[in-house]
Structure 1
Amino acid sequence: MELIHRGKVRDVYADGDDLVLVASNRVSVYDVVLPTEIPDKGALLTALSLWWFEALGDLVPNHVVSVDDVPGEFAGRAVRVMRLDMVPVEAIARGYLTGSGLTEYQKSGTVCGIALPGGLVDGSRLPEPIFTPSTKAAVGDHDEPITFEQTAAALGAEQADRIRDLTLSVYKTAALVAAERGIIIADTKFEFGTDAEGTLRLADEVLTSDSSRFWDAAGWEPGRSQPSFDKQYVRDWARSTGWKPDAGDAPEIPADVVEATRGRYVEAYERLTGRRW
């Protein structure tokens, strides 16, 4: 196979008419890949994505071809997928206010140009989920939020409408599933692409601890940082060290932070799927 792209977490190989998407154990925060890996992370991301692809299959087609026809060295963390013409924006849905959305809201009262009610705090539930797309940055660069109008200019109005509506539909469906299992999906990122027949398909990873913020519903309390089952734990640790994403070499992650992060990924998988890891 030919390595054609190395992302922050995933490596993409060309193999005949298909691609093989391999999830590594790398972890990135603030668009920077950290030097320490999280054991089992690639397999956990792959297994959870496959579970969601199946659960959402009646709502949106996806790019999965096979989970078995992959090289043995990548077994458990690789998927054979269709070649797609990828949509050049990240489709983000937010049901709660936090992260970069909170930062923008505190400055302007908006998120990606969408006006929100006053008085919201970190962790506030939004009146309705919103579509807040961003650019797709290369490794080492930063994704930048864009407005829906900018998305329509890049994709065309019809395609932008379709991406927005599908993003919100998938998010709302998944949020209900997760709520039944005691997990809040605060926000999540989707990637879409079109196949040779022009069908829009859900691609890459979906609703994982890397692409989403998973909060413990029992501990949710607006106005503070929420107990989570995602890589926010690593983000918080990195921030606590005083390291700045633009400052150069990223710090090694201590063993206790590695283990605690792995534990959060495992708990998200087990609570959502009902399966033991």
Structure 2
Amino acid sequence: MTHLPAPTQLAGWTHTYSGKVRDLYTPANGSAAYLLVVASNRVSAFDHVLEPPIAGKGALLTALSNWWFDRIELPNHLVPAGAGGADSPPAVPAEVADRAMLTRRLDMYPIECVVRGALTGSGFAEYERTGAVCGIELPSGIADGDLLDTPIYTPAYKAPLGEHDENITFERSVELVGEEVAAALRDASLKIFTAARELAADRGVVLADTKFEFGRDPRTGELVLADEVLTSDSSRYWDAAVYGDDSLSRQDRLASFDKQIVRNWLASHWDKTGEPPVLPDEIVAQTYDRYRELYVRLTGAQPPFPAPAS
């Protein structure tokens, strides 16, 4: 993977980690109770971080996560304004306020909790090879993009940095975190997905699949929903009207509200050797518009910040 840019230095916070999209900070005063999770505007594809970033993307992802957190009946990692008392966290710096989440620090479980309401992507590839996904046997004759009668829980093991996550069976997740926690992760994931799929359908959007991450609050022991939730980067959404149009090609019907525009352009302009080319301005703008369209479709509102300058 190409090298990540140097992290932004934030007053009152110490940078501790950068992933492809998110940067993590801890309080500079040494408090272990809080994290600042900052969604960057970086965009990656084929294990490369690309140039230029998608201006405004981080703010859209954060706003959509916050919108979903407000609608999910499960404890989440967000710290309410004014919380903390004597151990109050530092203020969220203004320069990242629209793309930052102030969160409580959790003991994270090494499981990506993937739920599939449709069969496509790596799940469909595994089904074609084996007739099953993560050990779950499925009926024959399922085509790429078909909706499943009942969503399935197909966890993945979160591999160490630099390695690829590994799809696992539920039985393997029990070995990793214990039977009680594994069952709680599965049940919570399916409950959230089912409610979110119904809400999305009411807005003309198909929620095909998603991933959740959970942690344990070290003070209370409760299961807590963490990281981003039901965003364009963690989920696959399709336009319901387009998906239902059988006159279109499969690729057009399954066009997702994410960075697929970037992947398609790269596939046509790069042989995956050496450094990837710089993204054209029109691809950057189209990608932002696709992220923004999903936010508007789901929430029924305009983003709570101005669009980036073109």
Q: TM-score, normalised by structure 2?
A: 0.83
Q: Distance in 1 between matches of 2:158 and 2:276?
A: 21
Deviation at 1:86, TM superposition (A): 0.4
Q: What is the letter of the counterpart of residue 238 of structure 2?
A: W
Which secondary structure state, in structure 2, belongs to the residue aligned with residue 205 of structure 1?
A: coil
Structure 2 match to 1:4? 16
Which secondary structure state, in structure 2, belongs to the residue aligned with residue 169 of structure 1?
A: helix
In structure 2, stretches of 5+ residues that fail to align are 1-12, 83-90, 304-310
Q: Distance in 1 between matches of 2:135 and 2:188?
A: 20
Q: Distance in 1 between matches of 2:80 and 2:106?
A: 15
Structure 2 match to 1:54? 70
- Give per-residue Cα distances to partners, 1:102-154, cap 9 Å, x unaligned: 11111111111111111111110012101111122345432221111111111
Q: How many residues matched?
A: 273
Identity %: 52
1:107 to 1:67, Cα distance in 2 relative to 1, 3 A = farther
Structure 1 match to 2:262? 234
Q: Distance in 2 between matches of 1:138 and 1:44?
A: 28
Structure 2 match to 1:264? 290
Check conservation: 2:270, 2:276, Cα contact below 8 A: no
Deviation at 1:243, TM superposition (A): 3.7
Deviation at 1:30, TM superposition (A): 4.4
CA RMSD of aligned residues (A): 1.8
- The reply to whether residue 194 of structure 1 matches residue 222 of structure 2 is no
Structure 1 or 2, whichever has the larger Rg, is: 2
Q: What is the letter of the counterpart of residue 168 of structure 1?
A: L
Structure 1 match to 2:79? 65
Where do 1:123-202 residues align within 5 Å? 123-196=145-218, 197-202=220-225
Q: TM-score, normalised by structure 1?
A: 0.93
Which secondary structure state, in structure 1, belongs to the residue aligned with residue 172 of structure 2?
A: helix
Deviation at 1:179, TM superposition (A): 0.5
Bigger Cα displacement from structure 2, 26-35 vs 114-123 = 26-35
Deviation at 1:234, TM superposition (A): 2.3
- The reply to whether residue 26 of structure 1 matches residue 42 of structure 2 is yes
